[in-house]
Amino acid sequence: MVVDPGQLRLLALIERHGSLTAAAHALQLTPAAVTQQVVKAERDWQVPLVIRGPRGATLTAAGALLASHGRTVEEASDKAEAQLAALLGHLSLRLRIGTFQAAALHLLPPALTALRHRHPDADVSVVDVVSGRGADEISAGRLDLAIVASWGTPLAPPPHLRAHPLLLDPMVVVLPDDHPLATGQPADADLHLEQLRDESWVSILAGHAAREQFHDAAREAGFTPTVRFETESYDVAQALVGTGIAVALVSRLALAHAPGTTHRELAHPRPYRQIYAVTRTDAGLTPLADMLIDLLRDVARDITATWEAPQQEGQRSSNSPHGSEATPPGPDRPQAAGRADAGEVAGRST
């Protein structure tokens, strides 16, 4: 026969408490339900196990033998319950994060600071993860949350994962600071990509999503870019632009303000990358993930507001009788500069 550990535990409880009613209370069952379980156990074991009397219940020799094993089952059950509670308590405070470096510099620190104020006992870890690997690391159980980027197309994770949009990060043109397009028009004037058709470009390596997006934008603008330098890093791209030998298309969040460079916004349509937080669809074991996502969205709103502040100031100036003659920027055009993500890997971890 197949041994039912529940029957062994029931007999141990009857032996300990001396009655079916008390055993039922310990199991959070009705006395009738416990009586039915005793009848079933005696039928399964094919031997009397419990002697019912006016003062309670005692076990037969067979029942006492089985109850001794039931005590082992009960001890194991209590130990398992305690260990599970400890594990769930640990998991509720654990958050393993993967992120690319621009997000690690600009999005994550303020959000983590707020999280640590709310949960100073949180067990948080952060690792560098390229955007293309974030979802895989969560699926493999090595991460609880990944911050990733997608260029040009919405992120579509598998059903067991969920993508939480955080930020639209526009691409901007980085120019040598003595470039005619930088010196010959106001700093808040948008550029059209076709104005750069004859330029030499520093671009992200072929095969990366950022490179594909760049070529798509150039094609829509009616030209094929002359790419003379390729790199995996937006920082390297901007450093090369600072030498005066080329221009580059760089994420707004990754602007480094390298010596000898300036940047200009692109007129519509402008390419963007979308930044997401990715988690498991069922994140019940990691409640800190949902909290961090809310905090990341707060930070993203602050970043967007900072980008838009110069544009709003420009609009007020242009509406003033003494305002500048600069073309007012569009309603969604980011403006403020951000620091570079050192060593950022564009198309992989940018």
Q: What is the mean pLDDT of each run of 10 residues along the chain (350 residues)?
A: 82 90 89 91 91 87 91 81 65 86 92 93 91 91 94 90 95 95 87 95 93 94 96 93 96 93 90 95 86 96 86 54 38 35 38
Angle between helical axes of 5-17 and 20-27 (0-180°, round to 10)? 120
Report helix, strand or coil for 284. coil
Q: What is the pLDDT of residue 216?
A: 94
Q: What is the pLDDT of residue 323?
A: 42
Give the strand pairing for 226-231 and 272-280: unpaired
Distance CA 277, CA 293 (A): 7
Q: What is the pLDDT of residue 285?
A: 77
Q: What is the pLDDT of residue 286?
A: 86
- Core vs surface per residue 94-104: b (16+ CB within 10 A) or e: bbbbbbbbbbb
Distance CA 217, CA 78 (A): 63
Asked if 96 and 125 touch (Cβ cutoff 8 Å), the reply is: yes
124: Cβ–Cβ under 8 A, 6 or more apart, which residues? 94, 95, 97, 112, 115, 116, 288
Q: What is the pLDDT of residue 315?
A: 54
Identity of the residue numbered 319: N
- From the list 226, 304, 305, 313, the residue with the least C-alpha distance to 272 is 304
Q: What is the pLDDT of residue 186?
A: 85
Distance CA 223, CA 11 (A): 83
